[in-house]
Amino acid sequence: MAAVALALLGLLLAPAALPSAASPRSPSGTGPAPAATRVASGGTAALAGYAIRSTAEVPDTAAAVSTPGYATAGWHRAGPRSTVLAALVADGTHPDPFYSTDQQRIPRGDFSVPWWFRSDFTLPDTSERTSLDFSGVVSAADVYVNGRQVASAADVAGVYTRHELDITALVRAGTNTVAFRVRPNDPRKHLTLGWLDWLQPPPDANMGLVRDVLVRRRGPVSLHDAHVVTRLELPTPYPTATVAAASAELTVKAQVRNGSQESATATVTATVSGTGIVLRKNVTLRAGEVRTLIFSPDRHPQLRLTQPALWWPAGMGAQNLYGLDLTATVAGSRSDSVRHTFGIREVKAPLNSAGARQYSVNGRPLLIRGAGWSADELLRWDTTAAEDRIRAALDAGLNTLRLEGHLEPDEFFDLADRHGILTLPGWECCNKWEGPVNPSGSGEKWGAADRLTARASMAAEAARLRSHPSVLSFLIGSDFAPDAATERDYLDALRAADWPTPVIPAAADVSTPLSGPSGMRMPGPYDWVPPSYWYDKREGGATGFNSETSAGPSVPTLDTLRRMLSPAELETLWKSPSAPQYHRSPSPTYNTLKLFNDALARRYGAPRGLGDYVAKAQLSQYENVRAQFEAYARNATDASAPSTGVIYWMFNSGWTSLHWQLIDRYLDRGGAYYGAKKANEPLHIQYSYDDRTVAVINRRPAAVSGLTARVTLFGTDGTSRYDRTVRGLQVGGDGARTTALTVPALAEGQDLPDSTYLARLTLTDGAGREVSRNVYWLSTRPDVLDYGSSDWYHTPVTAHGDLTGLKSLAAATVTATARTTQHAGGRSTTTVTVRNTGSGNTPALLTDVRLVDGLDAPVLPVRWDDNQISLWPGESAVLTAEYRAADVRGGAPRIRISGWNTPTTHITPDPS
């Protein structure tokens, strides 16, 4: 127990954050052990990779394994951040777990014993102090250096705890060895991570080293826990993106540690980039002494900034960042230095009159439009792939990503800072993290050592994340709030770290003694409900802050389905609506698509084949996701019980999934994604399912006037049944709403040939340019919800809307021309002009334009400025795709055009 307490103390004294730009990820695979990592004098380097092997196959002692020169022939190779299974998949030992049921072929017994992770590093000499600095151990590890144990698994436990081990006395000039004996993981028993009902969990339960292990070399005096505390003074009224704040105060803090056996005097110099600030202070320390150094504005007036460059979320302003450089010199020689990036911004989240969290950034309120983020199932980090996903989230109009556990490495938060997407990190539900408080979860109760690990985890993550301006809050609970003792531990650790943003006790609607009400709620749903559900201010409808919710299943595009499922599984997908689906969820609540498939058949008609099933799924997902975001946007400015935030569950999946995703594993984008993108347009016209009003939402900072809204209703025969134009509309900024008109109710047989009809909404600016277009397929027969029978994951439907009339739409004729332009840096742009050249009245509904390679495989990732559009005869649209030229394989790119009632055609773009 004393060892654990000492480990906690070391964490509280540890540096603030691991460098975000350590060595690039080395590929895992077979072959010789990775080359020894070279650590220069005064430098820091991440171990470049490991040789790994099951302890069941290694009879040698730990001292032998961790001694330089130990032979690793026959061992597997792993990258610098790797789970065991990630390495074994990379070297071909096990099959791709993302296809079909191949993951079931991987024997779980192979991961029931510890595995060795062994790596070498070289030092030019032993004149400096040397330490190992790491977190990310799943689940725990005994650590050895050059044949000697330096930490036990009792000390190194928990994926988020941070450890800095002084190994100065053990290292030598030349080659040194570090070896981790990594223990098996079980998220029910360890404070690590698990997958619950998100996906089929990996057989190794992610055991491994999933963050960098750093070797640091420093002089006698070292710098730790460096950070800047910012305090913003805002003018009244609050500033727009182009108006600077009145002032900001900076306080620079760091711990200065003398690691030598003698007293030492260090000169600590702090500079803040972009400000001209340079500060110096001499610090004399006894042998082994640690002291907190503070540069405050009271003593250093230059730390008071006038008109600082603020950090804003994307769409609200620029993502301005500052840099702190801190250097310690002893006797005129550099002893240590650190660089730290931060932003100046203020986040507040008071409870509104209805008890909901209302977030504001730099004094400007905003509706949180977010989604849940998933790490890769094997916890493989890829900066390019993560940036692609963050760009896709922003392109879909999201402003926030929630991380329920699975807290990604530093690069993720660096990307979020640079791109301006907000993040909501927090602990996981339902496993060990909620063991003491969640009676329905699987987590074991905590002992004294677990409480120390939890507090150390909070201290380490608070220090790591506090200066990222993208971090909006920390959720110290998920489905349940922590108990009183744990809450106190968490809050003490956050306070000690100078945590700057609101702390939320749980994602659920709870209240705790110290934090008070959460201001959030999570009533679901998590499975299918109709689009009209989102407009009611009850259950999961658009009121307050719903921390995780969606209509559940998300069937990917046909291209992706063929990559992830076997031919037999593809047949089952549409022929057997109640069959268990391995790629949905391990949970018995979600392991079929029954609710979704039943609603699909009743509303759109029974599927006639795989292609028809997928086409109907895209229509259904588009209308449902669009309605969810539109309802929360419409209700955000209500005087009573407004909506303040919604987290779509989820943005992406960690593997190939049929479940909870706006974008699929391969970054292909279907109806769910484009429904979100349409709903979250900066300037947007939308229809309300509950009262048939048409509203204009303006998310831009500035107000807009001189707008014209037009609404036209069509029968499935293509004839117009209602047409009205409203001119001279104006709408304020920052999410303001104005109502343009109310659409009349249409009746089957009287106004329409059948129960299905289409609504086309267009918004044009003062110059007559179309700035928003939105097309709905609607029914005269409402979906009827049985709220009295609601449970925690859905509300039953007793009668379904009838959209089967869409089957009677005549085939539409769509033609297109395209041109591709190559840009510097390996980027390409393809511009496509799409026209409905039909002579009748039939629209081309949900026309989908895809960039494909010479083999007709989709080029991914690709960003379309708009897609899945609906055009009436004589109408056209210009769509632009941006992508990496290297992602086009098999020749020049081609364009594939298809749609609900549009035959599939291909064209080849002209070169620019």
Residue 492 CA neighbour count, 13 Å, CB half: 11
Helix (H, G, I), strand (E, B) or coil at 261: coil
Tens of pLDDT along 120-144?
Answer: 999 999 999 999 999 999 999 999 9
Residue 315: Cβ within 10 Å count: 17
Comparing CA positions, the residue from 130, 138, 121, 118 lying closest to residue 39 is: 121
Mean pLDDT computed over 408-426 = 98
Dist. CA 556–CA 659, nearest whole Å? 9
Residue 639 and residue 636: Cα distance in Å, rounded?
Answer: 9
Task: Please answer whether residues 778 and 620 qualify as being in contact, where contact means their C-beta atoms are separated by less than 8 angstroms.
Answer: no
How do residues 833-875 score in pLDDT, each as one tens digit?
999 999 888 999 999 999 999 899 999 999 999 999 999 999 9
Kindly state the DSSP code that residue 427 receives in the 8-state scheme: P
Known catalytic membership, residue 479: yes
Spot the catalytic one: 411, 548, 630, 668. Answer: 548
Question: Strand, coil or helix: what is 485?
Answer: helix
Residue 236 binned pLDDT confidence (cut-offs 50, 70, 90): confident
Mean pLDDT value across residues 5-19 = 34
346 is catalytic: no
Residue 5: what residue type?
A: A
**Quick check: 243 pLDDT over 90?**
no
Whole-Å CA distances, 789 to 283, 362, 509, 795 = 68, 43, 20, 7
Identify the weakest region by mean pLDDT among 28-42, 233-247, 667-681.
233-247
CA terminus-to-terminus distance, the chain: 69
> What residues have CB less than 8 Å from 25, skipping those under 6 apart?
79, 80, 81, 380, 381, 382, 383
- pLDDT at residue 26 tops 70: no
Kindly report the three-state secondary structure assignment for every residue of 621-688: HHHHHHHHHHHHHHHHHCCCCCEEEEEECCCCCCCCCCECCCCCCCCCCCHHHHHHHHHCCCEEEEEC
Structure tokens at 18: 């691991």
> In the 8-state DSSP scheme, what is residue 110?
G
Q: Say yes or no to pLDDT of 504 above 50.
A: yes
The CA distances from residue 546 to 540, 643, 827, 905, in Å, are 7, 8, 38, 42
Cα(69)–Cα(78) distance, integer angstroms: 18
At 260-298, the pLDDT tens digits run 999 999 999 999 998 999 999 999 999 999 999 999 999
pLDDT digits (tens, 9 = 90+) for 296-348: 999 999 999 999 999 999 999 999 999 999 999 999 999 999 999 999 999 99
Alpha carbon distances (Å) from 621 to 328, 535, 713: 57, 17, 22
- Determine how β-strand 400-404 pairs with β-strand 368-372: parallel
φ/ψ of 449, rounded to 5, equals -65, -35
Cβ within 8 Å of residue 47, ≥6 positions away: 37, 80, 119, 121, 178, 212, 213, 214, 215
CA gap 411, 422 in Å, rounded = 14
pLDDT at 245: 60
DSSP annotation string for 541-561: SSSEEEEEE---B----HHHH
**CA dihedral of residues 604, 562, 553, 199 (deg, nearest 10):** 170
pLDDT exceeds cutoff 80 at 237: no
Residue 8 confidence (pLDDT) = 35
Q: Tell me how far apart the alpha carbons of residues 394 and 403 are, in angstroms, rounded to a whole number.
A: 16
Q: Which of 479, 489, 527, 623 is catalytic?
A: 479
Q: To the nearest whole percent, how much of the chain has pLDDT over 70?
A: 96
- Confidence (pLDDT) at 25: 34
The residue ranges of DSSP E strands in 60-187, in sequence order, are 76-78, 82-83, 115-123, 129-134, 137-138, 141-145, 148-151, 163-166, 174-182
pLDDT tens for residues 444-470? 999 999 999 999 999 999 999 999 999
Nearest Cα neighbor of 678 from 697, 704, 665, 701 is 697
Residue 244's pLDDT band (cuts 50, 70, 90): low
3-state secondary structure of 351: strand
Question: Residue 31's pLDDT band (boundaries 50, 70, 90)?
Answer: low
Compute the average pLDDT of residues 618-639: 98
